[in-house]
Amino acid sequence: MASVDIIGIRKLYGDVVALSDINISIASGAFYTLLGPSGCGKTTLLRTIAGFHEQNAGTIAVDGKAIEGLPAYRRDVGMVFQDYAIFPHISVRDNVAFGLKQRKIPRAEMEQRVAEVLDVVQLGQFADRMPHELSGGQQQRVGLARAIVIRPKVLLMDEPLSNLDARLRVDLRAELRRIQQELGITTIYVTHDQEEALAMSDTVCVMHQGVIQQAANPLDIYLHPANRFVATFVGANNFLAVTRQGDGLYLASAGGVVANGGLAADGRPLVCGVRPEVVRVVPGSVPPGDEEVAIPASLASVSFIGREMEVLVRTEADEVVKSFARPDPAVIALQPGSAVTLLVHRSDLAFFEDSETGRRAT
Amino acid sequence: MRIAGRRPDFWTVVTGVVLLVLAILLLIPILRVMLLSFVDADTGNWTLGNYVEVFTRNFYLRGLKNTLFVGVLGTIGACLVGIPLAFFTARFHLWGRVWISTLAILVLVAPPFIGAYAWIMMLGSNGFITNFFERFGIETPTIYGAHGIILVFTLKFFPFVFLMTQTALMAVNKSFEDAAENLGCTPWQRFTKITLPLVFPAISTGAIICFVLSIADFGTPAILGRGFRTLSTIAFAAYRSELGGLPTIAVTVSMIMIAISMLALVVQRRILARRRYASSLTNLPVKKRLAGWKNVAVHVFCHGAVLIAMLPNLVVVYTSFLKTNGPVFVGGFGLESYERMWRQAPMAVGNSFLFALSAVALITIFSALISYVIVRRETKASGSIDFLMMVPYLVPGVVMAIGFVTTFRTGVFGGIGAAWLLILLYFIRRLPYGVRSTTSSLRQVKPSMEEAAINLGAPPLSAFLKVTVPLILPGLIVGSLMSFITAINELSGTLIIYDSGTLTMPVSIYLAVLDGEFGLAAALSTVLLLCTGVCVYAVFRFSENRDSAFL
Ligand SMILES: Nc1ncnc2c1ncn2[C@@H]1O[C@H](COP(=O)(O)OP(=O)(O)OP(=O)(O)O)[C@@H](O)[C@H]1O
Ligand SMILES: [Mg+2]
């Protein structure tokens, strides 16, 4: 158990900036997830912490002690690899014992610890099998057991579930979280699956092009995205053009002020973000209720996918807006081209500066 | 917790050591040869005189012409046998296909000089085929001279073209050929316009290997030449006659041999650079069943080719069991040859094994380390090591040995004995076999394996020994076996370096052949063939793809 502080890490591959000025602080025992699209630098950051390559600038401290002077084999950070990296030439037991042997743990203690950890990952009866006699999910557990048996200060996991099928992924993710909490081990977890990140983490850190976009608890990430990139990457989002008249903000596609005061006062170009699940679609032309905005639109398509319906509409400003809602027979019966009204609660609108990573405006 | 600081890591040190060893054993001898070729033997001053001499005297020019002549014709011969053989085995159902490729591989790895003298026993002035036809008053063509050398080169080197072309043919997507047929090509047009161009890179690679090996070959022209001299016999003779002084003419001739090999390689690179055909293997080629006379003809050709090529080795084994009295065969069978070997050449047998095994021990260690550096580290240094691994293929044995002698018998290294020189010579010349096989094995091991070991607390060397080495073991074993075969059969370089205490089997065979002691030569050759055969069997056991393990 240890806290981790990452200060000002920068990593270049030739001219490519893989990480720029990464600052992270992780509390002891926390489950910290790095989330981001492919190529955003998640693996690079993890490998920098593990010591597989050197950063160009910055320090990494575990429990307040800088570790960048230590070679990878003395860092005491356990790692679970995306491809498991189970040694194919030795048994499950020997795989798990590998790190203990390196640490010259006495034989009796070693056997006991291996047996214990194999029980934790529910592989007790597989101890004498060779790795090729295990399924993917079982190999994944061996990888985990091998990393935690050495009781590392920090546990690193690089997309440990990405090679498994969907069902198993959901099962294992709950189990990973359970084991992590039982052991109370500080964990840094990499994924590009947002559902996984939201479901497992204490803190989610969204990265993009080597830069941290936002680090917060899952609920905040979802409900209060710090910028337009986070709002787009985590969950789905619609973006509507915004116009400004006097000291009021208006949607390009609807009448009525949507915001005024401070937000409208400075001259930054803004866009309005609306989550699909807060957009209500009703047939015909309907006046807005209190605190509601009504956007007239025409229906583009409706697909009924069981639990919900997915509706695509086109606004008068020619924006395509998506809505997820409870299946409504009246809407499903509509022909494409029919007039509909979108109803959105004013408090569900979020405003961002108009660029890929534009900040949230309040 | 101790802070390690920024000391160089293990693999940086290994890279440094490897570069140092390669510099001392490879670069310095070659540079030494190069420099010496610009030195005046009498005055010790810089001069271009050696090159002027070599390029104006008819003796050397004829040697150059002869070398190119037998090299080119031997290569063409090898292609004429190897390409059809590859095509037949890859595209038709043949009875005994495994047998054919096994024989081809045995021919490939058998000691090169055995071919030459076995043909003398068959077709030489007192050969048994010659004598057989003489009884009927028919005169057989003599084996001595250029055509004999070309015959031996053809039969010795065609397996390279055969195996490489066969591998390529098996990988040609059948859809290309189907498309050609669909567009109206006759089978022959389809072969020349589609299939042949597609496998051309493989053919050219095989052909270049044949050419480079025939340029470097010493044993064959030395035994069969009879006045027909090639650059390697000239360099050897010049070295012998210059003993005591500076071997300037020998090294100048050597430089020309290196230049020819390099030129050949450059030409081949140019050819390959413009032709890269990636092909996805969705549609594997199928084999056709032949019938009637075509079937018979193809079988006769394929089995005939490998049997004739194997013939010298069979003759040698047969001869070794003939009854002899001194150098004379007296009719009937007996073990006199082996008895003489036991009496006269026990040291040669012992030395051969001692030197080859010592060299292979070094090769095994170094190929494991070098392949790791080449595959896992992307530095300039590892790039240059990769490049340097090609150099030993290009430098003929005679040349490398002259470089060794002129470098290590003088100055700082003065005290090194012939035994060590031979071990180091075998080491550096055969190292690429080990490295190549180990490298291809390591490329299939995921880097995360070693990283996992390091992450679990294993220092680099320990991670390498406990995880990497067990995973590349098959490749390492195959590589070591290959370098053992080629090391124990080394003749040309050994002839330059050996002294009375360091005779080896190939040298004893060579000397016995020159003395007309064919029985003794045959017994020694049989021992060599036996070792070779055992190693080939072991390679078959350890390698995934038995044919390509030998290329
Ligand atoms: N060895 C390397 N040499 C050069 N560039 C590299 C190297 N490794 C990664 N990069 C680059 O650095 C950037 C970050 O790569 P990284 O592997 O950290 O991404 P990632 O977030 O893990 O992506 P993924 O989700 O696809 O695994 C990418 O642009 C990548 O192309
Ligand atoms: Mg990654």
User: pLDDT tens for residues B321-364?
Assistant: 988 877 777 777 888 888 888 888 889 999 999 999 999 999 99
pLDDT-derived band at A61, boundaries 50, 70, 90: very high
Q: Which of residues 36-55 of A touch B (CB under 8 A)?
A: 50, 52
Centre of ligand 2 to C-alpha A152, Å, is: 22
Any B CB within 8 A of A215 CB: no
**Ligand closest to CA A208:** 1
Res A129: pLDDT: 93
Q: Strand pairing of A270-274 and A238-245?
A: antiparallel
Bigger pLDDT: B126 or A158?
Answer: A158
**C-beta A44 within 6 A of ligand 1:** yes
Chain A residues with CB-CB distance to B459 below 8 A = 71, 73
Q: What percent of chain A clears pLDDT 90, i.e. is strictly above it?
A: 64
Give A132→chain B minimum CA distance, Å: 14
Q: Whose CA is nearest to atom 9 of ligand 1?
A: A44
Please answer whether residues A333 and A251 qualify as being in contact, where contact means their C-beta atoms are separated by less than 8 angstroms: no
Place of tokens 């890279």: B15
Q: What's the domain count of chain B? A: 2
Res B454: pLDDT: 93
**C-beta A11 within 6 A of ligand 1:** no
Any B CB within 8 A of A87 CB: yes
Burial class (CB in 10 A: 0-12, 13-18, 19+), A101: middle
Domain boundary among B320, B352, B384: B320
Tell me the mean pLDDT in the region B10-26.
93
| Same-domain status, B384 and B309 | no
Amino acid in the structure at residue B403: G
Res B333: pLDDT: 85
Closest residue by Cα to residue A346 from A230, A283, A257: A257
d(CA A283, CA B398): 93
| Same-domain status, B88 and B99 | yes
d(CA B237, CA B227): 12
Res B359: pLDDT: 96
Q: Which fold has domain A236-353?
A: OB fold (Dihydrolipoamide Acetyltransferase, E2P) (2.40.50)
Give A334→chain B minimum CA distance, Å: 48
Closest residue by Cα to residue A41 from A215, A228, A207, A234: A207
- Range of lowest pLDDT (A218-232, B20-34, B81-95, B403-417): B403-417
Token reading at B293: 């006379």
Close Cβ partners of B56 (under 8 Å, ≥ 6 residues apart): none
Q: Using the 8-state DSSP alphabet, how is residue B549 labeled? A: G
Res B1: pLDDT: 31
Close Cβ partners of A165 (under 8 Å, ≥ 6 residues apart): none
B105-137 burial code (b ≥16 CB/10 A, e <16): bbbbbbbbbbbbbbbbbbbbeebeebeeeeeee
The pLDDT of residue B275 is above 70: no
d(CA B466, CA A95): 11
pLDDT-derived band at B546, boundaries 50, 70, 90: low
Please answer whether residues A102 and B456 qualify as being in contact, where contact means their C-beta atoms are separated by less than 8 angstroms: yes
Res B182: pLDDT: 76
Chain A residues with CB-CB distance to B378 below 8 A = none
Centre of ligand 2 to C-alpha B180, Å, is: 44
**Ligand closest to CA A40:** 1
d(CA A59, CA A340): 56
| Same-domain status, B18 and B55 | no
Q: Which domain holds residue B227?
A: 48-320
Q: In this complex, do A74 and B4 lie within 8 Å of one another by their Cβ atoms?
A: yes
d(CA B82, CA B269): 21
| Same-domain status, B314 and B374 | no
The pLDDT of residue B470 is above 90: yes
Res A162: pLDDT: 85
Res A311: pLDDT: 94
Please answer whether residues A87 and A36 qualify as being in contact, where contact means their C-beta atoms are separated by less than 8 angstroms: no
Q: DSSP secondary structure string, A127-185?
A: TTS-GGGS-HHHHHHHHHHHHHTT--SEEEEESTTTTS-HHHHHHHHHHHHHHHHHHT-
The pLDDT of residue B43 is above 60: yes
Res B4: pLDDT: 41
What is the tens place of the pLDDT at every residue in A318-346? 999 999 999 999 999 999 999 999 999 98
Which atom of ligand 1 is nearest to A14's Cα?
Answer: 4
Give A351→chain B minimum CA distance, Å: 44
| Same-domain status, B127 and B20 | no
The pLDDT of residue B276 is above 70: no
d(CA A357, CA A37): 14
Q: In this complex, do B455 and A50 lie within 8 Å of one another by their Cβ atoms?
A: yes
| A·B CB contacts under 8 A | 73
**Helix/strand/coil (H/E/C) assignment for every residue in B102-141:** HHHHHHHHCCHHHHHHHHHHHHCCCCHHHHHHHCCCCCCC
Tell me the mean pLDDT in the region A243-271.
77
Q: In whole numbers, what is the pLDDT of chain A averaged over residues? A: 90
**Ligand closest to CA A48:** 1
The pLDDT of residue B185 is above 80: no
Q: Angle, nearest 10°, between helix axes B336-344 and B346-376? A: 80
Q: Would you say residue B4 lies in a domain?
A: no
| Residue of A83, A89, A98 lying closest to B456 (CB–CB) | A98
Res A213: pLDDT: 95
The pLDDT of residue A44 is above 70: yes
Nearest residue on chain B to A148, alpha-carbon basis: B456
pLDDT-derived band at B545, boundaries 50, 70, 90: low
Centre of ligand 2 to C-alpha A39, Å, is: 7
Any A CB within 8 A of B380 CB: no
What is the tens place of the pLDDT at every residue in A300-321? 999 988 888 999 999 988 999 9
Res A288: pLDDT: 86
Res B323: pLDDT: 85
Chain A residues with CB-CB distance to B4 below 8 A = 69-71, 74
Chain B residues with CB-CB distance to A98 below 8 A = 453, 456, 458, 466
The pLDDT of residue A43 is above 70: yes
Q: Collapse the DSSP code of B523 into the 3-class scheme (helix H, G, I; strand E, B; otherwise coil) and give the result.
A: helix
CA dist A218 → A32, A222, B133, B293, B480 (Å): 10, 6, 96, 79, 57
d(CA A150, CA B175): 54
What is the tens place of the pLDDT at every residue in A176-212? 899 899 989 999 999 988 999 999 999 999 999 999 9
What is the tens place of the pLDDT at every residue in B190-242? 778 888 888 888 888 889 989 999 998 998 999 888 889 999 999 989 888 87
Amino acid in the structure at residue A149: V
pLDDT-derived band at B550, boundaries 50, 70, 90: low
Q: Which CATH superfamily is domain A4-223 in?
A: P-loop containing nucleotide triphosphate hydrolases (3.40.50.300)
- Range of lowest pLDDT (A93-102, A280-289, B271-280): B271-280
Q: Strand pairing of A292-304 and A257-260?
A: unpaired
The pLDDT of residue A31 is above 90: yes
The CATH number of whichever domain residue B357 belongs to comes to: 1.10.3720.10
Give A74→chain B minimum CA distance, Å: 6
Q: Whose CA is nearest to atom 29 of ligand 1?
A: A39
Please answer whether residues B78 and B222 qualify as being in contact, where contact means their C-beta atoms are separated by less than 8 angstroms: no
Question: Given this chain, do its domains A4-223 and A236-353 carry the same CATH topology?
Answer: no
Token reading at B167: 């591998």
**C-beta A192 within 6 A of ligand 1:** yes
Q: What percent of chain B clears pLDDT 70, i.e. is strictly above it?
A: 94
Q: For the whole model, what pTM was predicted?
A: 0.84
Nearest residue on chain A to B456, alpha-carbon basis: A99
State ipTM: 0.83
| Same-domain status, B336 and B402 | yes
Q: Using the 8-state DSSP alphabet, how is residue A353 labeled? A: E
Tell me the mean pLDDT in the region B473-478.
89
pLDDT-derived band at B70, boundaries 50, 70, 90: very high
Q: Would you say residue B5 lies in a domain?
A: no
Amino acid in the structure at residue A187: T
d(CA B337, CA A108): 63
**Ligand closest to CA A45:** 1
| Same-domain status, B190 and B315 | yes
| Same-domain status, B54 and B19 | no
d(CA A208, CA A230): 9
Q: In this complex, do A81 and B451 lie within 8 Å of one another by their Cβ atoms?
A: yes
Any B CB within 8 A of A103 CB: yes
d(CA B466, CA B471): 9
| Residue of B5, B446, B456 lying closest to A99 (CB–CB) | B456
Token reading at A70: 């230590």
Tell me the mean pLDDT in the region B152-162.
92
| Residue of B457, B463, B470 lying closest to A103 (CB–CB) | B457
d(CA A248, CA A264): 6
Nearest residue on chain A to B8, alpha-carbon basis: A71
In the sheet that holds A4-13, the strands lie side by side as: A16-26, A4-13, A57-62, A65-66
**Top mean-pLDDT range of A349-358, B73-82, B126-135:** B73-82
Give B317→chain A minimum CA distance, Å: 42
* Residues B253, B258, B259, B261, Cα dihedral to 10°: 130
Q: For chain B, what is the radius of gyration of the CA atoms?
A: 25
Mutation target to probe the B interface, by most B beta carbons within 10 A, among A47, A55, A67, A87 is A87
Q: Whose CA is nearest to atom 7 of ligand 1?
A: A13
d(CA B67, CA B146): 10
Q: Collapse the DSSP code of A188 into the 3-class scheme (helix H, G, I; strand E, B; otherwise coil) and give the result.
A: strand
Domain boundary among B271, B305, B320: B320
Bigger pLDDT: B276 or A58?
Answer: A58
Any A CB within 8 A of B457 CB: yes
Token reading at B526: 């049989």
**C-beta A41 within 6 A of ligand 1:** yes
Which residues face A11 on adjacent strands? A19
Helix ranges restricted to H, B321-463 = 336-344, 346-376, 380-388, 391-394, 397-408, 418-442, 447-455, 460-463
Give B370→chain A minimum CA distance, Å: 20
Q: Where are chain A's structural domains?
A: 4-223, 236-353
| Same-domain status, B330 and B284 | no
**Ligand closest to CA A18:** 1
Res B13: pLDDT: 93
What is the tens place of the pLDDT at every residue in B109-147? 888 788 888 888 888 777 778 878 888 877 777 788 898
Any A CB within 8 A of B448 CB: yes
pLDDT-derived band at B20, boundaries 50, 70, 90: very high
Q: In this complex, do A87 and B3 lie within 8 Å of one another by their Cβ atoms?
A: no
Give A200→chain B minimum CA distance, Å: 24
Res B548: pLDDT: 64
Centre of ligand 1 to C-alpha A41, Å, is: 6
Token reading at B142: 């003599």
- Range of lowest pLDDT (A86-90, A322-326, B90-94): B90-94
Residue A362: half-sphere exposure toward Cβ, Cα within 13 Å? 7
Centre of ligand 1 to C-alpha A191, Å, is: 14
> Ligand 1 pocket: which of A11, A44, A159, A189 to mutate (most atoms <8 Å of CB)?
A44
Chain A residues with CB-CB distance to B474 below 8 A = none
Q: Angle, nearest 10°, between helix axes B346-376 and B10-22? A: 130
pLDDT-derived band at B2, boundaries 50, 70, 90: very low
Bigger pLDDT: B453 or B200?
Answer: B453
| Same-domain status, B316 and B435 | no
| Residue of A82, A89, A150 lying closest to B456 (CB–CB) | A150
Q: Whose CA is nearest to atom 3 of ligand 1?
A: A13
Q: Would you say residue B107 lies in a domain?
A: yes
Res B5: pLDDT: 43
Q: DSSP secondary structure string, B292-356?
A: HHHHHHHHHHHHHHHHHHHHHHHHHHHHHTEEEETTEEEEEE-SHHHHHHHHH-HHHHHHHHHHH
Nearest residue on chain B to A97, alpha-carbon basis: B456
Domain boundary among B303, B320, B337: B320
CA dist B45 → B41, B42, B52, B412, B447 (Å): 8, 8, 15, 22, 53
Token reading at A176: 């990973």
Q: In this complex, do B455 and A73 lie within 8 Å of one another by their Cβ atoms?
A: yes
Q: Strand pairing of A211-216 and A65-66?
A: unpaired
d(CA A310, CA A295): 17
Q: In whole numbers, what is the pLDDT of chain B averaged over residues? A: 86
Res B306: pLDDT: 93
Please count the other Cβ atoms lying within 10 Å of the Cβ belonging to residue A166. Answer: 7
d(CA B330, CA B322): 8
